[in-house]
Amino acid sequence: MARAEIEALRDKVLRLERGSSPVAAARFSTGSAAMDTALGGGIVRGALHEIFAEGMANEPAAAAFAVTLALRASDKRPIVWVRQDFVGLEMGEIYAPGLAELGLSPDRLILVRARDGPSVLRAGEEAARCPPLGAVLMEPWGDPKTLDLVATRRLSLAAARSSLPVLMVRAGGAPTPSAAATRWSIRSAPSRPLEADAPGHPCFVADLLRDRAGAAGHGWTVEWNRDRLCYSDIPERRTALPRGVVSAAAGRSDHAEGGRRRAG
């Protein structure tokens, strides 16, 4: 790409990030009063958002968190999930009962399989240009060389034009410079027991590592209600069952857990 094209793309994205576009400024609520307040009313709809796991053991929780945000944003419209094949080999394939536990009916999911990182980016950008969709999930593995600042700016611009949230789950990856509007670190938390000590709703600890609107540095413990399809705040101190989030994947290999903590 020529330098002039890169500069023109940078200027367009900067104008969108500053809120010059009413489409780019639209937000969707998470349902959590604490998160929504800190985020200025919710998560920016027409933007790219990066979601990291706090260690390899929490990769399913990061994917589940992305699914829940897609559910909040999509309003029953189809959700596209572009997934690199290697993610399935390392972390397990998408598990339909796990999605159902989060409230996502499999018939709303359009799954796109991609052989490598560049293919994930190409398919994700094409999906992000389709306004009839509800949300786009992207799941490349590791740190593909093509996932650079220019590529994320292209994704941001496509998301802003179509008013679609693009949620990139960085399985096995580490934070690098990007044009993402927000960057999250996710880990599962024990659920609160229901009546008769039945396992409760999935819970997450969500740390906001980066936010272009200025809310970075906040962290919340939240509970996902699949029936209401929303988050609610829960106190830090609570009696809990030793149960984490329902995995969105199955058949995970005995991969070494040496998951490095992904900090901002």
How many other CB atoms are found less than 10 A from the CB of residue 66?
A: 26
The pLDDT confidence band at residue 256, using thresholds 50, 70 and 90, is: very low
3.40.50.300, 2.40.50.140, 3.40.1390.10, 3.40.50.261: CATH of 3-190+201-250:
3.40.50.300
Query: Does the global pTM surpass 0.85?
Result: no
φ and ψ at 209, to 5 degrees?
-80, -30
Q: What is the pLDDT of residues 187-205, one digit of tens each?
A: 999 988 877 777 789 999 9
Q: Tokens for 218? A: 């906040």
Q: What is the pLDDT of residues 7-61, one digit of tens each?
A: 666 655 555 544 444 444 699 999 999 999 999 999 999 999 999 999 999 999 9
Number of continuous H segments (helices) and E segments (strands) in the chain: 8, 13
Domain ranges in the chain are 3-190+201-250
β partners of residue 195: none
